[in-house]
Structure formats: C-alpha cells, structure tokens
Structure 1
C-alpha cells in the first residue's frame, strides 16, 4: 500500500507518471485513506460515547475534522472551537505512515515482506508499548508519530501476505496480541508460488499452500534479485526478485483487473485491523486521553516560564494573578484551556516542567512559587527553561516568559529558534526592570535577543516597569482562548512611515492589534473611511491601551468586514500584529519529495534549501468543512520588507488540501499569507502564519526510528551537504533530557557532496518508559555565513515481557427479578459478581465501565485478586467493564441477560430442594472468542433465588 503524505496523493496521480503513484484502489485506497477512514471512525465513536455519557448531543453536520470537533466540543457564547489541532494530529500520523516507504524501504519486517512475520509483529508490539507509555506520560505527539508507523506495518500485512487468498475476511488478531502464537507459517524451504511469466496472474499461490492454510508473503529485492527457491515475489518494477523463478508477485498494492477481489479484501481487512489496533489503544488510554492524543481538545494551552530569582516577587505575583483569572474566569466554559504548563527557572537551575489538565492542580503549583536565590551576575537560565517548555508543550502552543534579567544561557539561542520553527509555538516575553539591580555588561546577550526570539515565533517582546506589568498581561488573556488566528504580522527595523492594509472577515471576533516599539504614532481606518488615531484612548473603532513598549488596540464588537488600513509613523524599530478569533484557519508544512518504489513527500526537519523551489502542504479549515472555503492566493511574504513576496502555483487536491509550489523564495525571513472566500458569509478572509522561516544552502538529513530501549545506545546516522562554499562546518547537538551523546564536532564539506557522520545517544537504564526526547543537530559554517538544523524526536521505552491480558472470572449472575417482558423491567434489578486478576503479575491499574448504566464497585486495585460487583436495572441488560494493567494490556468482562423468548420467569423465591435441582441443570453459556477476558464458559443463574 503506497504511503504518501495524505494530501499529496491526488496531485501525484494527476501530475506524475504512472510509476510515481501506486494507489490502492484507483487513488482512493492508500495507506493514508485507510488510516484516515479508521481514525475518523474511531474518533467519531469515542466522541459520541463521551458526549452521550455527559448528557450532550453529538450530531456532526458532516465527516470533516472541523465538523466532528465542533459537534463534540460545541460553540458557546464565549467563542468557537477550532479543528486545526485535529487536522495537525491527522497529518502527523499520515506523514509518519508515509515515511516508512522512504526510511525503511528495504526493511522486510517494516512491510511484512520476505516472510518476516515474527519480526514484523515485534515492531508492532514494540510500537504499541511505546504509544501506550507515551500517552501515560502525556507525550501525545510522540504517540501519534509512532502510531503512524505502526499502522503502516500492520496494513502492509494484508497487502503483502496471502492472508486474504486463504479466504480470511477478518483481521489476524494475533498480530496485535503477542501472547498468541503465529501459527502455520510456511517454512523457509517450502515452495509457495507458481511461475507467472506475464507478471499479471489471478492467483500464483500454490494449491497445497491454500489447502493447508500456510501463511506466506512475497520476497522483495530492491538491490538484489535473489530469493529462496520456490518463494513468491512481492512484484512490481522496483522488485528485482520478480524476474527470478517463480516470476510475478502477490502484492495487492494496486487495484488491477486481475486482482479486484483480493485487493478489495485486503483493503477491508487492513481497515478493520487498523480499527482493532486503535480500539486497543483507546481502551488502554481511556476516552479522554485518546481524544487528546488526536488533538481534540480546546485549542489553547497556557504555558508559563517564570524566573524565580530574588527580585521577581512582583512578577511572580502578577503571573499568579493572571493564572487565577484565567482559571476562575474560564473554568467550565469553552475558553477553558485544555492544559496548563509551568516551568520555573533560576540560576543555575531550571525546571521541572509541571503539566496538568486540572486547573486546581495548576493553582496549587503556581501558589508554591517563591522568589529567592540567583547568581550574582543577575543573568538567568531563561533559555534552558524555555527549551523545556518548547519540547514539552504541544505544537502551536502559546508560551509566556516572565523575567527581569537577560539570558545567561544565550548559547541556546539557535536551538530555541530551531525548536520554535519546528513546533510553530508562539513565545512572548514580559521583561521588567528591577530598580537598584546591578547588571553585568554582556555583549553576547541583551533584550534584543528576546525580541529576536519573539519575532521568530510571532510573539511579543514587552519591556515594562514592574509597576505597569499588570497593564500588559491582557495579551495572555487574549491568546489563552479558542481559535486564535493571525490576520497580519510585520516588522520594520528601522521604522518608516508605512500603510498596512489587512482584511477582516465576518467570522472574526475579539480582534486585537498589537504594536511594540517606542515613539510610535498611527492612524487606523475602517472600510467606510472612519479613522481613529493613536491618542484617542476610546474612539469610534476601538480602545487603545499603552504600557511600556506595548500598544494594544481592541476593536469594537461592531467592527466592519472588509479592508482596513493602519498607517504607522515612526523611524524606530517596531512590530505589528493583528489577531482575532475564528475557526477559519490553515495549517502548513514545508516538504520535500522523495523517490523509490513508492514516491511521496516528507516534512522538512530544517530550513528549505536556497536556490530551489519550495513546496508546501496546506490544509485549509472552514466553518462547515472544506466545502465552505474557496482559496484564492497563497504567497510567501517577507517579514521586514514591503515587497509583494514570492509568487506560487496552487494544486487543489480537494477536502481543503493544497499543494503549493513556490519558484522563487524571498530572501531573508518570510511568512505564509493566505487569502480566500468564506462561502458561509460570502466574504473575503485573510490569514497568516506566525512563525518566520528562511532558506539555507546547507542540508542536514537524519532518520530516527520511533523508539529506543532504556539503557541501550541509539546510533543515529546523519548527512551534511552544502550548495555554497565548502570547508569546515561546526556541528552542535543538544537533547532536552541531558542524555549523554557523542558525535563529531566538525565536518569538512565539498560543494554539492554529502558527508556522513553518526551521533550516538544513550538514555540511562533508569529512564521512565514513555519519556519523549527531542534532539537538535545544528551545522554552521566556520565563517558563520550559513547554517541549518534538524529536529528529531524519539521515545524511550522499558523492555516489557508482560503481554497477558487481565482475566475475568464471572462468579455469579442473579437476574431473577428480570421479567421476560422487557416493558415490565423498570422495577427490577439484576446483579453480577466477578473476580479480576492480572495474568502476569504487573497489577491492574484501572477498571472502568464500558457498557451499562448500572453501578460498578470493586475492592482495592492493590489486591492480587479484585472482586468486582455490578448491579443495574433489568432494563439495562448488557454490562461490559474494562481492566487495564500497568503496562497497558486490556481485558474485558462482558455479560448479557438479553433473552430471546423461552419459558416464563420462575418464582422469585424457591424451596431449597427445588433450587438445588434447577441449579444442577443451569445452562452453561459459551462466551464468543474475543469478548471476555478469557474465553471460557460461565454459569448464568436465571430466575433462581434460594431460600
């Protein structure tokens, strides 16, 4: 099954040669489409379950991600919810799914080629262990990336093996159940295929293989035509073994006239298998964390990085007041942040990072902050704390830094910029001036460094006295809300008189203009020609507040849609930013195309290459799904210059997805500017990315697998190339966990030629399973003229040998009060008791009710044997509860008292002799495989109550 970055599929089919796009089903059944279908179905099921359990209706108007999110979270008077994070989560999974065809094209286990069944299942098992551990530690991005790779391997089994040729229509559950054996595998010396000279044969599998139900898969040779005698080939132009006897191939990647039935069967089985895997992860994680992994939560994440040195008492008090205001004012509303993150820093210490979705817990944590300590030079570990926040917070977060000192760890500045560009998070600095503080003279660090980092991220660098600090924190309240979008952002250094037009559409609410700088005059004009100047604190267009170097203009609620203008007059440096709230937005990534047997696009881990066309993948998000938006122009616009920016070519792939090719990328730093039409209001809209990007003549290529075992060294090959002048390049690498690393400190490059090197990183054996690690590799020419970076993520997991599911023994079921006539069920109750044990002794961590409206109670989870009791109305006739052990194995306890006719109910109470006679003939009911924790018969006592 071909793996392309999801939204590139149709473009390749339309624009490339036939060999460049190998679909699974006429362009509609690829890895991406199968993964997308499974994810949307499982997310829809989960949203409906959670919403209905909370007493909310769940009626999406369509199947698009934004419509699902809107139906689940729903609009309120305080704002709208955005589907952008759900879109981003889907794209992260799609991208990693596709990269397996680039990074592991010749690995048989990753694709279940060459009969590597045990090894392939091992990859799935290892991946699922890492995913569950990541979710437990709330490292959701790492979980998503691993999920994309695992789904690719799982889906390939059905296309590359003979599973469906053997007549199987259901998924092979043993692939995700490592406690079950892989049965009836064809031996290495067993011939499996007949010859197919034409390369297109209805069925090459030998009759005895089919009759004996032997499992095999095609051998694939990208660099060699050798395969064991008599074995099937994968097939296709890229497979050199396909011309070795027996010729041909059994892959079902492409739907052809000769393989329609098996191809469609493979697609159906792969989709069902994907749903099985997602359901296992969902049950282990719980519904809420499963949805958080998928990016379905309120958009805002409030993240504070706070200096706790001795002079920061006032600043800490103000940060604490802002957090309390956010929590108290937005708790229970749609604008309540989905997560709170706190990172304190001092000198020489920083951290730990505290993250929670519980507002009361965040209140307690920030109340503990006390000012004290700090170095004598009064420069703090600010960037170390910020690095911790950038690697720990979700992508596209808003991060607020409070300090009154310059950064002592300024050497991290380049790493911080790389992380900002990779995560697309927005960083704002609140720097106060402490009276009487002695400051050392630092030529390497100043407030300008904070301004550089803020501008790179699309944030603000605010310099203000401690007394006026409360006047600036409205910025936090503005952005700690749902659906914040940027309409326009520009910077000028030096400043000059200039008019900036920008478009406001009908969907925008809470529109705010931010200007940072000194000695600034401006005039704001609406589409009707009405103006307001900078010295009108409350005018016809909005309210203006000034504190320190920040000017904040909040437009009146009755703003007019159309083209506005702001004329800024100053010769001093300044920044301008226009924001609002709207669910109309876009997400994007710079990508590069890769070749091989399955071509596709990979997200760039660094800056785009200079002198080459740039390619972007965009997803545009509308109020009623992609059909409610028409995209007009998309351009790369210089941040500092007034030029028109680069021209581009758009390829509309449908579903709001766009492939953008830019022939001439602007010099210097630029942003993405998109304009279009909102069909709901028939009005023009404008949106801009916040993160600045620039090109580089240096390219870094590096590949990291999804996870590494604690205590073992990970060897990471990387390559470096420059299109500029050759010579010596300085290499610097950092990771956010301080794991020991070794790598060459420099490489000598020749223009246009790659130089290869290896970095080794070793997580200590004590590293907790599920720890997410961010690794940044930077290369810079010895002259300092050019540089680039690669940001990589991987997870650490502990070796797990427990794959046994928790076991449920149903002890008794008392349903004697339940009449056959369901219409008379209301006054009656029924009961069930069961014993729960963990088969391998790691212990049960959680038990929760999955089906049923009754009451579930159980003895302490610390007990080796847990007694569970359930009682419910006879109107609620099915119960299912889930037990999850400490490593994520999932067990189910299921029982139904639904009756299909039969004799009338027995009397409620019987004499002892008759009771014993009836119980001697109690019906033994066999529970279907896969339903209960352990497939076994359970006694069901129907209508019996002994005196």
Structure 2
C-alpha cells in the first residue's frame, strides 16, 4: 500500500525495515512494513500477556526491543541468554512477502483492490486466511508467515486504493475478513466515479453523487495500457498510464502529498486497525501459544536428528539415543531447552517419516523405537532424509546426521545445497567407519561429499570409529543452545600455515574452537599468553581430540580482546569459532525492482555475477539495535586469505542497514560484521555460517495460489543467463514426491528471458494444510554454472463454510450482585449460553478471553455446545471465543456492569432490565 515510510512503531519500536522503496529515516510517510509491524507487535504483546498470565506470572518487559519482548514473553523461568533473532527473522519473512506483492503481482487488480476488483480481492484474503490457519495446525509456520505477509498487503491496499476513506469511514470494513457478510453498494462498471483533475493532484476527485450514494469504488491502474472504463477513477502516479486519460489524476493515498495529508493519515490508521482485526482473528483461531510459535518466539533453536537405521548402525543409534536423552534431561527447564525436536530415520530404500514434537518425553520414546536392520551393503537414502529435515524444520535449525555409509541418492546433492542456502540451517555429519564399508572403499569418497555439504552450511563433518562416537557428540551439546553465534569460519584448501584473528567480547560465553584435519596449531590470547596443540589442558583452554576433530573450549576467565589461532598443515583443513551471545545479525540477499512502488525483493537463489551484491541486514543486541554501533560489514572468502571486501552501508534506522558490495570474492563467501556494544564498550565480531556464491544464471517463479487436492496447478517460471547461451537443463524436486511435469531443458540466448511452465498435482487425499517445498534448478550444459529457486506451496481443501459460531443466551443470574462493587466479594453471578456452529462442521474449541471465573462446556449434540460461566460479582465481564473446525471465530461477550442503573431499592424488574442491557453479541 503505502510507498515507504519510517516512523517509530507504536510503543514497541522495532527494526521497521521495508521491502518497498526506502526513504530517509526522517520521512513522514507510512509503509506496509510499519503498518504490519505495528499490528504484529500489538498482537504478539496480547498473546504474550495471556500466556504469561496463564502460567501464573506477570508480563513485564524491561524495554521495547525484540530481545526484551521475547525475554518477557518466555517468562521469569527462562534463564540464560535469550536471542530475539528468530523473532526478527519471522517478522522479516512477513515483511518480505508483503513487499513482494508489489513486484510479483504488480498488474494484478485483485492483489491491490485496483480497478474495482473487490470480490476478487476479498477472495484472496479469504483463501489466504484459510491457508494460514491450516498451515499453523500442521505446524508449517514458514508457509503461514509467507501467506500472512501477502494477505496483509492486499488488505491494507484496500484503504489506500479505494474511496473508503473519502466516504467518511474511520473504522475498517469488517466484511473484507468476514466472507459470510456481503460486499455492499459497489459501483458497477458503467457508473462514472471521478471528476477530471487537470493537474493530477486534487484533494478529492470523487464525484459528489458517489459520495452521496455511498458507492464503493477504487482506482484503475494501467502499467502497460492507458485505457479504462469511461468516467472511472485512476490509481494515479507516473507509472499509471490511465492517470492521463480523462478523468485525469488519481485517488491513491499511498504517499503523503500536500493535497491528501488528511486522507493519507486516515488510510494509514484504518489499515492498521484492519490489520489488527485480521491478526486477532488468526490468533484466536489458532490459540496464543501457536500464534507465538508462528512468530518465532520460542526458547531456542530446533534440533533435528537424521539417523541411518541399517544393520551396521547399532552402536550409532545407541549413542544418538544417549545424546538425546542426556540433552533433554540436562537442558530441561533452562533457556537452552530446545523448542522442538525432529527425528528422520532413513534406510534403503525407505526414509522417514519425519517425527516432529515439542514434547521431550515423546522424543525420547520415538528415538527409543529405532532398531537397526536391513540396508545390505548398498549406500542408503541419506540425502532424502536430509531433504525431509531441511524442508520440515524451521530455518536456522541444527541438523545432525548419523551414518556409516555413502549416500545412494546422490542426485539430490544440488537440491540439498540449495535448501541449505535458503534455510540457513547447519548440517553436521557424524560418520563412523565400518569394516564392511572400508572393504568397499567407499568411506573416504562418501566423507568428502558430506564434508562439502557441512562446510557450505557452517556445520562440521566428523569421521570417527564407532568407539569414538560418544566423545564426538559433545558438539551437539555445544550447538543445541540458545543465542549461538559464529565468530569466525574458514576452510583452507590447499593446506598451508595460516594465522586467524578473532575478537572475544564481553557478551560472549562458552567460546569453542573447532579444527578439522589439522594436528599442529597454537592459540594466543590478547596479552600474548599461548597454548599449543600438545597441551590438552592449558592456561587458555581444554583441547579434546576425537577422530579428525580438535575441539578447544576456552576457559571462562579468558580475556576480552583480539585472539589468534595459528594452524600449520599441508592438508586442507577447517577452523570454526562459536560462542553464546545475544549480539548477532540476520541478513538476506536482495535485488531492486521497479514499478509503481519500487523496492527490494528477497533473492531465493544465488546473486547475479558481474553485478554488485546487495544485502539487507539487521543487527540484534541485548536491548535492541540502539545499544550497538556497527563498524564494518563485508564479504570474506570461505577458502583463502582473510581479505574482506568492505561494503557501502546505508543506515536505514531501527538497526537495519542496506549493504552494497561492488567486488565480490571468487568462489564461496560469507558475511562478516564488526561493531561495538555501547553498554560494555566492547568490540565484537560476528560471521554468517552459510556459504554463498555468484551465478550468471537467473531462474524465477511465482506462487499465485494454493493447491487443491487432486487438482493440477500451473507455475510459470522464467530462465535467463548473462553468460554464454546454449542448452540448459531444468531439474525440479519436491519433498512430497507429488507428480510434476516440466521441460527437461531450455535453449537460452544471452540476456533473454525464456518463459515456460511447471505443473504439479497433489494427490486427492492430501491433508489440508500440507506444505510442499519445490526446488527448481537451471544448469548449463557444461555444468559450470547453475542457479535455483525455492518455492513453498500449500495444499488446502476448498472451504465453503465461512459462518462463525453463534451464541444464544440461555440464562443470566445476577440478581444477587450488589450495586456497590465494594461489597461484591461474597456474591456470585452465573451466565449460560448455547453455542452453535453455523454450517454444522463442528465446534473445535471454546476458550475464556476475559473474566476471572470458571467456564465449563458440555455438548448437547453434534452441533450445539452448552457453555456455563460462574464468577464473583467483582468480575463483571465475560468474553470467550468459539472456533469451529475450519477456523471461523465467534467472539462472545456479556457484561453485568451497571451504567445508569436505579438503586437496588428500586423495582426488581427495572433492576433486572438494567443488568442485561449489555446484550450478548457475536463478533469476528
């Protein structure tokens, strides 16, 4: 909706960064991001307050930063360091998809409520809300967030692009999110709606007759054409070709101009209120806890185990089981307790199913069920198991793979690499050597493949004997922790003597150094004290050696400042340094797009070679970005010298930085950031974990709708190369094995887009809410260059029930309540009602929202539930909600508050009448 604006969010100021055009921090304009951020923060705060209250605590944020909000939301029992990075990442996923509507659907009238496409626009909102609720029930939170961003954009555009504000409305049009209510008084295509505005900027060009008759209209937008129906309003602006056709001008309130200040401000306020209504409907439908999980507010990262269950894996499974049990027991009740556990077994030829739970006891039971067997001597379906984990686990998860064999499904290697880059999850391999495998001489070759994948993800590849495995799994305890950050990561190939410098700041705890394939090294602290690899327990730390891994845990009393690690090896080796700290950063590679509302779009694949690289980056600190000063941001080669390509930085405010790097390192590179913590005056250094590289190939695709079970969906895509033309292979994989059809190759000419279509058909019995991750790759015939795009699609059953549950008052007994509330203590009141699902699909849940009494309910039959509420006369308001099986929400409210009531000595009939003047109502 609104072009771009940067204002402080209400109360809780947040990294309000935008995916439409960027303006100066002092701008007084409003944007989709600010509207969305304001609404999300308010709704998250409501959910947090409710959850904390139910736990018997008070919701008391110490400040307005995301970190402080997350800490308060997790409650006083949350100990240790709490990072707000996942919350910020969730917000940015929503913002990204919100902004992409202006690029991917620029000429789609329904997506913007342009050209009087009111029914179609509401249809998108309705379809989107059904998909979001179904996805959350299936715990497909990323799919839910992406759809939510798009739906909010369309909803917000209604107030900017229509004449709702000009008609004098100051509240949202509730019918847009209530498909059971009609859209009324719509102007038809033959009704003129605007007068001519010769200079293009008139305060209000809506015809008086339209205003008088309260007709609803919206501006026509022509990106590629200038025609519109006679007498119709235009959207307006330089990109709108219809704005030069009489009646000229436009009614868009996207930007604050001298001629529309009041209209623009009102549109912003109503759009914010409308966003709150939609988010409240969503929160009530799915529940506060699930809403917070969707928003990334959880204890720590998800941990995922991908385990080979073939016959030779008996010892490995036993160790994995012991690690999981020990981790669960030691971290239970602490801030480091994982918020979710995932288990993916694989064998040959089977893999899966994926088991996902937030219940630690259930995870213990599931991993206890694993039994080794089968598989023979052949390689197994390792990559298929990893693919299932990467698509099922949230972004930024830690995935641990246990195997002693090569991967049979090697054709998935590129798909896995693409998913790693997209999700920024780390994959760590524990490969044990097996006598049977060694005879087949596959261990070394397999381990090299695993090593490449782990390195690209920022994980580790550890090769040990089965007896050594219990020592190696300490890395799981290190990394399955809250607020894990990477200080430095390098891979040196070919091997050589190299010195690496890194900074230890005051905020960081549990600093650990991992070195693989190198036996000779030394560590020096800021004061010059050194420790060599021969000192297992020295002045600086403790060294553990297992297989190809050297793990050095620094002592807790080590000094703050610049350290160095010197490694001397002729073999290729890796070094990675991690710690625990709230200070970190999140980032995305983006590209500029043009149009009526230009901005920056998130890149799904690799950045384009031969062009500057652009990142949108946000810093995260203990008390928000205001507590940090950013020094340098740049790109550093994963393999090679420590030279960093320094970037051009534009401070967007709120902790957001737009970064442009003109010269990109060759091969794979990482993002590195330095800065200073204002509170401790300590300098810090942070680095990304996921390796990225450039490509001259570009492949793009857009998801325009969800899928229906049993029905084919068409996905248009385009491919272009800036390198040599020729035949490029096209390969597509989805994690559900749904049938697909697409061209196996395309002939490309340098600089020209080639368009084609992929079709995908979910089976007829696919459960509603199932999400599908689709990876498409375009590769040159010589295999030198390739790129990919990753799409998330949802399978949603067609819903026809949009009628919320209704309530019928059965009885209110409040006669005993005294008029003087100071005497209310000993007295009780009672309320009862029958709750009916409008279309008979069934009531799914009933929950109390307001009131300190007791709510009970019992079914009368398959469609009616009897609810009964008892409370002290001191608690005079009751509000509860009923949600049906498809997510429709009925909000029920009753009050016995006396307003203007006669004294208790008056006639009892008058008093009773006064007690029930607050009617029981049903609201969305």
| TM-score with structure 2 setting the length | 0.96
Deviation string 1:563-585 (CA, Å, 9 cap, x unpaired) is: 01111122122211111111100
Residue number in structure 1 paired with 2:335: 334
8 A Cα contact 1:160 1:234, kept in partner: yes
Following superposition, the deviation at residue 358 of structure 1 comes to: 1.3
Residue number in structure 1 paired with 2:815: 816
CA distance in 1, matches of 2:634, 2:923: 59
Residue number in structure 2 paired with 1:45: 46
CA distance in 2, matches of 1:270, 1:230: 27
Query: Which secondary structure does the structure 2 equivalent of 1:13 belong to?
Result: coil
Residue number in structure 1 paired with 2:635: 636
Residue number in structure 2 paired with 1:558: 557
8 A Cα contact 1:635 1:648, kept in partner: yes
Deviation string 1:654-698 (CA, Å, 9 cap, x unpaired) is: 111001100010001110010000111001000000000111111
Residue number in structure 1 paired with 2:176: 175
CA distance in 1, matches of 2:336, 2:754: 50
Residues 497-896 of structure 1 mapped to structure 2, 5 A cutoff: 497-518=497-518, 520-860=519-859, 863-896=862-895
8 A Cα contact 2:493 2:640, kept in partner: no
Query: Which secondary structure does the structure 1 equivalent of 2:591 belong to?
Result: strand
Moved more, 430-439 or 804-813: 430-439
Residue number in structure 1 paired with 2:17: 7
Say if 1:289 and 1:450 are closer, same or farther in 2 by CA, change over 3 A. same
Following superposition, the deviation at residue 886 of structure 1 comes to: 0.9
Query: Which secondary structure does the structure 2 equivalent of 1:646 belong to?
Result: strand
Residues 43-82 of structure 1 mapped to structure 2, 5 A cutoff: 43-73=44-74, 78-82=79-83
Following superposition, the deviation at residue 201 of structure 1 comes to: 1.1
CA distance in 1, matches of 2:748, 2:399: 38
8 A Cα contact 1:816 1:906, kept in partner: no
Query: Which secondary structure does the structure 1 equivalent of 2:56 belong to?
Result: coil
Following superposition, the deviation at residue 645 of structure 1 comes to: 2.7
CA distance in 1, matches of 2:75, 2:581: 14
Say if 1:208 and 1:135 are closer, same or farther in 2 by CA, change over 3 A. same
Query: Which secondary structure does the structure 1 equivalent of 2:122 belong to?
Result: helix
8 A Cα contact 1:11 1:659, kept in partner: no
Deviation string 1:67-119 (CA, Å, 9 cap, x unpaired) is: 21122225778521111011111111111111111111111111001111000
Following superposition, the deviation at residue 298 of structure 1 comes to: 1.7
Deviation string 1:398-433 (CA, Å, 9 cap, x unpaired) is: 000111111111111110000000000000001112
8 A Cα contact 1:717 1:759, kept in partner: yes
Following superposition, the deviation at residue 775 of structure 1 comes to: 0.7
Deviation string 1:150-175 (CA, Å, 9 cap, x unpaired) is: 00100010011110111100000000
Residue number in structure 2 paired with 1:20: none
8 A Cα contact 2:629 2:678, kept in partner: yes
8 A Cα contact 2:631 2:675, kept in partner: yes
CA distance in 1, matches of 2:738, 2:19: 39
Residues 239-638 of structure 1 mapped to structure 2, 5 A cutoff: 239-374=240-375, 376-437=376-437, 440=440, 446-518=446-518, 520-638=519-637
CA distance in 2, matches of 1:332, 1:124: 40
Moved more, 883-892 or 325-334: 325-334
8 A Cα contact 2:382 2:409, kept in partner: yes
Say if 1:11 and 1:281 are closer, same or farther in 2 by CA, change over 3 A. closer
Deviation string 1:705-762 (CA, Å, 9 cap, x unpaired) is: 2522222222111111222221111111101111111111111112222222211111
8 A Cα contact 1:3 1:97, kept in partner: no
Residues 170-209 of structure 1 mapped to structure 2, 5 A cutoff: 170-209=171-210
8 A Cα contact 1:123 1:150, kept in partner: yes
Query: Which secondary structure does the structure 2 equivalent of 1:494 belong to?
Result: coil
Say if 1:259 and 1:821 are closer, same or farther in 2 by CA, change over 3 A. same
Query: Which secondary structure does the structure 2 equivalent of 1:35 belong to?
Result: helix
Deviation string 1:905-941 (CA, Å, 9 cap, x unpaired) is: 589xxxxxx9xx959975684657xx73279xxxxxx
Following superposition, the deviation at residue 307 of structure 1 comes to: 0.8
Residue number in structure 1 paired with 2:921: 932
Following superposition, the deviation at residue 493 of structure 1 comes to: 2.1
Following superposition, the deviation at residue 864 of structure 1 comes to: 2.3
CA distance in 2, matches of 1:349, 1:810: 56
CA distance in 2, matches of 1:628, 1:861: 57
CA distance in 2, matches of 1:121, 1:10: 23
Moved more, 593-602 or 428-437: 428-437
Following superposition, the deviation at residue 10 of structure 1 comes to: 9.8
Moved more, 183-192 or 583-592: 183-192
CA distance in 2, matches of 1:803, 1:377: 55
Deviation string 1:527-557 (CA, Å, 9 cap, x unpaired) is: 1111112122222111111111111111111
Following superposition, the deviation at residue 14 of structure 1 comes to: 4.8
Query: Which secondary structure does the structure 1 equivalent of 2:17 belong to?
Result: helix
Query: Which secondary structure does the structure 1 equivalent of 2:513 belong to?
Result: strand
CA distance in 1, matches of 2:412, 2:292: 34
Moved more, 602-611 or 115-124: 602-611
8 A Cα contact 1:145 1:706, kept in partner: no
| TM-score with structure 1 setting the length | 0.94
CA distance in 2, matches of 1:691, 1:697: 20
Deviation string 1:293-323 (CA, Å, 9 cap, x unpaired) is: 1111123111111111111121111111111
8 A Cα contact 1:807 1:934, kept in partner: no
Moved more, 860-869 or 555-564: 860-869
Unaligned stretches of 5+ residues in structure 2: 6-15
Residue number in structure 2 paired with 1:941: none
CA distance in 1, matches of 2:514, 2:705: 41
Say if 1:10 and 1:285 are closer, same or farther in 2 by CA, change over 3 A. closer
Query: Which secondary structure does the structure 1 equivalent of 2:562 belong to?
Result: strand
Query: Which secondary structure does the structure 1 equivalent of 2:90 belong to?
Result: helix
Deviation string 1:572-600 (CA, Å, 9 cap, x unpaired) is: 22211111111100001111101111111
8 A Cα contact 2:902 2:911, kept in partner: no
CA distance in 2, matches of 1:178, 1:854: 33
Say if 1:483 and 1:643 are closer, same or farther in 2 by CA, change over 3 A. closer
Say if 1:9 and 1:833 are closer, same or farther in 2 by CA, change over 3 A. closer
Following superposition, the deviation at residue 860 of structure 1 comes to: 4.6
CA distance in 1, matches of 2:255, 2:818: 55
Following superposition, the deviation at residue 28 of structure 1 comes to: 3.7
CA distance in 2, matches of 1:351, 1:9: 37
CA distance in 2, matches of 1:67, 1:320: 35
Following superposition, the deviation at residue 795 of structure 1 comes to: 1.1
Residue number in structure 2 paired with 1:163: 164
Following superposition, the deviation at residue 872 of structure 1 comes to: 1.8
Moved more, 172-181 or 286-295: 286-295
